[in-house]
Amino acid sequence: MGIIMNKEQKKAELALKTARGQIDATINMIEEGRYCVDISNQIIATQGLLKKANLLILRQHMNHCVKEAFEHDKGKEKIDEIIEILSKITGK
C-alpha cells in the first residue's frame, strides 16, 4: 500500500523529478563542453523548480500540520519551525 499524497505533495514530487532530469541534463552539458551561459541558464531553471517544490511542501505543512497544531493549542512550536525555515530561505 503506497503513501497517499495530497495535491501540494504531488506537485512538489513532479517538480523535484523534473529538477532531477534538469540536473542530469546540466551535467551532460558540462561534459559536452557546452556554452557556459547555457549551462548557467539550465542551473537557474533547476533552482526555480527546487524553490517551487519547497514552497509547495511549506504550503502543505501550513495547511495541514500547522493548522492541526493550532486546533490543539500547540501552534507556537510550528510557528518557530516556519520562522527557522524562512530564515534559511532568506539567509537572515
Are the CB atoms for 57 and 8 separated by under 8 Å? yes
* Confidence band, pLDDT 50/70/90 cuts, at residue 49: very high
pLDDT score recorded for residue 2? 56
Digit-coded pLDDT (tens) for 5-48: 788 899 999 999 999 999 999 999 999 999 999 999 999 999 99
User: Inter-axis angle of helices 75-90 and 36-60, to 10 degrees?
Assistant: 170
pLDDT score recorded for residue 42? 97
pLDDT score recorded for residue 91? 86
Q: What is the DSSP string of 33-82?
A: T--HHHHHHHHHHHHHHHHHHHHHHHHHIIIIIIHHHHHTT-HHHHHHHH
- Please give the domain boundaries of the chain with CATH numbers for all domains: 7-90 (1.20.58.1000)
